[in-house]
Amino acid sequence: MSKIGVVSLGCAKNLVDTEIVLGYLVKAGHEIVSDPLMAEVIIVNTCGFIEDAKEESINAILEMASMKEVGLCKSLIVMGCLSQRYREELWEEIPEIDGLVGTNELDLINQLIEEVGQGERVQKHRDGFFDYNQVHTRLFTTGSHFAYLKVAEGCNHRCAFCVIPLIRGKFRSRRPEFIIEEAQALLEKGVQEIAVIAQDTTAYGRDLGTSVVELLSELAKLRPQPWIRLLYTYPTSISDELLELIRETPNLVKYVDLPLQHVSGSVLRKMKRPGDYQSTVELIEKIRVEIPGVTIRSSFIVGFPGETEEDFQALLRFLETMRLNHVGIFKYSQEENSSAFDLEDQIPEEVKEARYQEAMALQQRISLQLNQELVGQELEVLLEFPSEESDLVLIGRHQGQAPDVDGVVYVGRGDLQLGQRVKVRITEAHPYDLVGEVVDHESA
């Protein structure tokens, strides 16, 4: 049995794959180590979504390859979206890679490690998809109080900039019984928050004759206490029933994650996405009316081919007037095999960068103002991690902060325990993070 180190890159959906693989490794008796210098086998789970992510993945592969010279590492294994997308290129151009799997061969990891251990250079390839319809023994990397729950894989949309459907295949829901069983196991372990994820969570169940509304109702009924958060929704799939369910169900977090990508009708049409400025404004207004106090997160792409100054100004106007709580801005990345790759009117890098900086600066100002409005309020906060900077500080999140992507709340440690939900009075606001003092230890 080997000591194995794992580097996980990319999004929450990829992280779940890492946790599934870690589960297989532990089941086979391997030991997981956090220091790559101590690992005999290093696995890099890569992301291949956009240029920056690909670069980060390649750098991580090369950095881990260098461990073969300085550490205990004998074998380097690469998995994930990048290896699914650029299998042959990686294999030929990085000879330090000893083993490779794509996104469909997660269950073959132990076999791969064994074969690589015999001195072979091995790739595993399967034509079909990995079967998510099982209850995985995942090894959680998100602490003991929070976990992601992947409810589907793949995507049936064809957004022009996106290669996810090529990498991950068509949308396919996991069967509800496996999801519920997995959620039940999480709750038994004491998890205080479950984030429901997929490429498009609002499409859940269409292929099985059920729906995300039914699934969320079932999940919410399991236990009254833990927060359940829905991430990655699709604008035209936000139904009245879904909004009503979130409003009426106490443990469904009043948080809507709605990646909009743009608001200009002409850019959205070129992106092969629905809607225009007016319909997007109406959707945000409707969500706010239906779920009072809701927190809204979105993400936008600047510099998509053909985006005019007028389109960009429309995006800024939208951000300024709609004042979303959390916004991610991305520069368009021209991806081979995406349908936008060959579009004319590609935007020069310096224009993309300038638009990115302008949109980011605007949103930072808005996020700071919105956070300042929270000063003096008392919010329920889930305490998750000790601060790395000081033993006297704990890090938590209130319901309006999703893990990994939004800010956090810092509070004094006192005699508080991780996993506790406490009432915190907010005392200080920053563009992303908040600082507060605990006013009630028995909040939740």
Site string for ligand SF4, 357-386 (x = CB under 6 A): ------------------------------
Binders of ligand SF4 among 219-238, rule CB under 6 A? 234
Does 162 engage in binding with ligand SF4 (CB under 6 A)? Answer: yes
Size of the site for ligand SF4 (CB under 6 A): 9
The span from the CA of 95 to the CA of 290, in Å, is 55
CB 156 to ligand SF4: min, Å: 8
Does 211 engage in binding with ligand SF4 (CB under 6 A)? Answer: no
Does 269 engage in binding with ligand SF4 (CB under 6 A)? Answer: no
Does 257 engage in binding with ligand SF4 (CB under 6 A)? Answer: no
Q: For ligand SF4, which residue of 4, 97, 164, 409 counts as binding (CB under 6 A)? A: 164
Among the listed ranges 52-60, 155-163, 332-340, 412-420, the one in contact with ligand SF4 (CB under 6 A) is 155-163
Does 165 engage in binding with ligand SF4 (CB under 6 A)? Answer: yes
Does 216 engage in binding with ligand SF4 (CB under 6 A)? Answer: no
Does 72 engage in binding with ligand SF4 (CB under 6 A)? Answer: no
CB closer to ligand SF4, 3 vs 157:
157
The span from the CA of 282 to the CA of 279, in Å, is 5
CB closer to ligand SF4, 160 vs 245:
160
The span from the CA of 215 to the CA of 238, in Å, is 15
Does 199 engage in binding with ligand SF4 (CB under 6 A)? Answer: yes
Provide the token pair at 420.
């506790």
Binders of ligand SF4 among 279-308, rule CB under 6 A? none
Does 155 engage in binding with ligand SF4 (CB under 6 A)? Answer: yes
Residues 6+ apart with CB under 8 A from 16: 138, 148, 150, 197
CB 304 to ligand SF4: min, Å: 12
CB 157 to ligand SF4: min, Å: 4
CB closer to ligand SF4, 234 vs 300:
234
Does 260 engage in binding with ligand SF4 (CB under 6 A)? Answer: no
Does 159 engage in binding with ligand SF4 (CB under 6 A)? Answer: yes
Q: Given phi > 0 = left and psi -120 to 50 = alpha, else beta, which region is 153?
A: beta
Parallel, antiparallel or unpaired: strands 255-257 and 41-46: unpaired
Does 200 engage in binding with ligand SF4 (CB under 6 A)? Answer: yes
Q: Measure CA 111 to chain center.
A: 29
Residues at the contact surface with ligand SF4, assessed by CB under 6 A? 155, 157, 159, 162, 164-165, 199-200, 234
